[in-house]
A and B are shown apart, each in its own frame.
Chain A
């Protein structure tokens, strides 16, 4: 986890940066005047930082929530797997085209039990961002995910997917290799998986690209994430025919965890450390781990048949309409 001064700050996080700078100055003064004790001043500033973090995240607009989900310091899938599990064995390839680095997966031990973890992975610098294609998987990524899910099913291991994608990759080869079909197949097969499946939105939950690994017995959303049918930017460009309405689009789409839970489209909100997951990876992972274990225990008792039927029923209920008398 980056520490100040390597931390990055979003525009609305500036007051926190100012406090860090004050601490820096205080430390410099302390060096200059070794006789005066600045410890309490620094402590006070540090607690102010925590207070500021709380204050800022207490009143976020939907668009700011989107920004937070994309925070450059935010932990990604592999980070959560590293922090939550032991003995992670990453498995590669779709056995067909290539290994898609935007999608990762493998078995790991979660609290003494083997679980299949699958998720989109973003990079942390220019080089790895390109390698990971900014978390935008190609069809082979979705097919790799499905291969791993089938593997887990064969060995009767539960599946946890960690979702963080700005969307499935809209490229020429992606179309040639059937991006639509790959996502469709995953959705269809995930409904039918005999083992427990938990899906967690840990960052961006953009449309089909997210749902392609997003069908499960339970869907959780971390506090500072979003999940909907289109990114606010693209929505703005299509419906408002301008790129400048992304804030309004974010509001209209009702894409925050609170909204989604309210609609019954996700089951639970996973709290994040004060100010967001990027402030404390260890704590963020610990909270998530607790929620995953609790949820797994809830859904484990069901038989395979019950699970599949419940999954179909769960998604069948989603929607709103009127029925008129003709």
Chain B
């Protein structure tokens, strides 16, 4: 069984640094633990690099396969069907015919309007991610063909401050709706987010109202809106457009909810039941139309489009 994940921590933008720093912690450790043999003696300079990401281990069943094999299997574990977390690049490649699509509104960038500083200034956080990845923000919007049907697809990147909902996501979402209405296209959003972006304070909260208002316009235009929820989807997303699809669908085993499991556990002071807040749980309780394997997603979307339009 996978270790319980603390959904909120991802929103701090420090998720990747969760391991304790070597400095102080190592010193503290020495007080009760004495290492007799020397540790790794190879100096960093002489270290041999293993090509990164050659092998991949399934966090669910520990099955090890090559990254190529995993990729060919659309990042789904060949043994246990665990759906690995992937980003917008991968989803677009899976969905769009011949990986052909046009990215929209990529020139909209987050900025630190409030001068928000937690452990790091928000602007510095943004600059660091921009330097480290090609991602510009936590959501990308693209238009392309899925088995011949054109669709606007917005997709979140969890890597970017936990896929958090801020002003940029709200604005891209809004423009995507306008674009879909203008061209009479269906709209799909692939969610993967810890919730609202705290560094944008109330502005991030208001994105819930902003996006819901735009969905109202999309609905009046008679266009389909599909909300695909993937692991994990929490907070502000599920309290707005995530749950407002004409169809709400999800990948298998995805954690989806309003409050994070840790917060609920602390509130009710009880252990949470097995499978709580998983896609299958949401389906049972009536909040999803169906669960869809990543490998069947494209065909199913085509089926939906045909049923909606013909």
Contacts and interface: CB of A to CB of B under 8 A. Distances in A.
Given A208-B235, A319-B206, A320-B113, A184 B241 contact: yes
B307 interface: no
Nearest to A173: B268
Given A175-B276, A229-B202, A239-B198, A323 B244 contact: no
B285 A176 contact: yes
Contact of B8 (A179, A192, A238): A238
A217 B10 CA distance: 34
Interface stretch (B24-32, B92-100, B103-111): B103-111
Interface string A212-231: 10110000000000011110
A312 B217 contact: yes
Interface of B: 8-9, 11-12, 106-111, 113-114, 116-119, 166-168, 170-171, 174, 196, 198-210, 212-217, 235-236, 238-244, 257-259, 263-264, 267-268, 270, 272-273, 276-277, 281, 285-287
Identify which of B201, B240, B243, B273 gathers the most chain A CB atoms within 10 Å of its CB: B201
A45 interface: no
Contact of A326 (B107, B205, B239, B257): B107
Contact of B287 (A178, A192, A253): A178
Contacts of B199: 239
Contact of B239 (A171, A184, A227, A263): A184
Contact of B209 (A215, A238, A241): A215
Nearest to A177: B285
Contacts of B235: 208
Interface string A227-243: 11110001100111100
A311 interface: yes
A170 interface: yes
B216 A240 contact: no
B268 A312 contact: no
A322 interface: yes
A321 interface: yes
A302 to B, nearest CB: 16
A255 interface: yes
Given A180-B242, A207-B205, A170 B264 contact: yes
Contacts of A320: 111, 113, 167, 200, 203
A171 B109 contact: no
Given A168-B258, A170-B259, A319-B171, A240 B118 contact: yes
Interface in A71-126: none
Contacts of A12: none
